Amino acid sequence: MFSEKIEKAMNDQIQRELESAYIYLSMAAYFESINLPGAAHWMRIQTQEEEEHAMKFFNFIYDRGGRVMLQAIPQPPVEFASPLDVFEKALAHEKKVTGHINDLYALAVQEKDYASQTFLQWFIDEQVEEEKSAGDIVETLKMVGDKGQALFMVDRQLGQRKD
């Protein structure tokens, strides 16, 4: 059974996923403004992934006979100290999202909603990948710094992201 608690929590998660997309789009805009098109491309793909995540929740709610209630999305940050700062903030944000997904899963367990548990397992696995990806970039930027030829090479590599 799809409980009102889970329906509300999943509606909250739709808002969080769309907020994530908005945050990453703002990060893409920042990278464009400092002439790092590869990093901007990486963030645009991240934006698309977050939108897809929101739609997974959207569709799941309706598949379960629930109702989607969209919520306001706060303005994302628009200024960052450096490329490293952006990816550190992205990593921190992904860790926060992981916490929300884990809370949702715990609620599904509490409510004995096995369908939601199965659905949420995909997101749990996805968050491991999201944190690793952002974390790897943070570590690379710490090694190469925020200026110079090495940053140019990292930017080119980020621009090759396919999905």
Share of the chain above pLDDT 90, in %: 95
Question: Which candidate, 36, 15, 59, places its Cα nearest to that of 151?
Answer: 36
Is 35:64 a contact under the CB 8 Å cutoff? no
Identify the pLDDT of residue 94.
Answer: 98
Identify the pLDDT of residue 110.
Answer: 97
| Amino acid in the structure at residue 6 | I
Q: How confident is the model at residue 163 (pLDDT cuts 50, 70, 90)?
A: confident
Domains and CATH numbers, the chain: 4-158 (1.20.1260.10)
Identify the pLDDT of residue 76.
Answer: 98
Identify the pLDDT of residue 146.
Answer: 79
Q: Determine the average pLDDT of the residues in 61-86.
A: 97
- Whether 1 shows a pLDDT value over 80: the answer reads no
What does the angle CA 19 – CA 24 – CA 26 come to, to the nearest 5 degrees? Answer: 95
Q: What is the pTM of this model?
A: 0.95
Is 146:83 a contact under the CB 8 Å cutoff? yes
Identify the pLDDT of residue 2.
Answer: 83
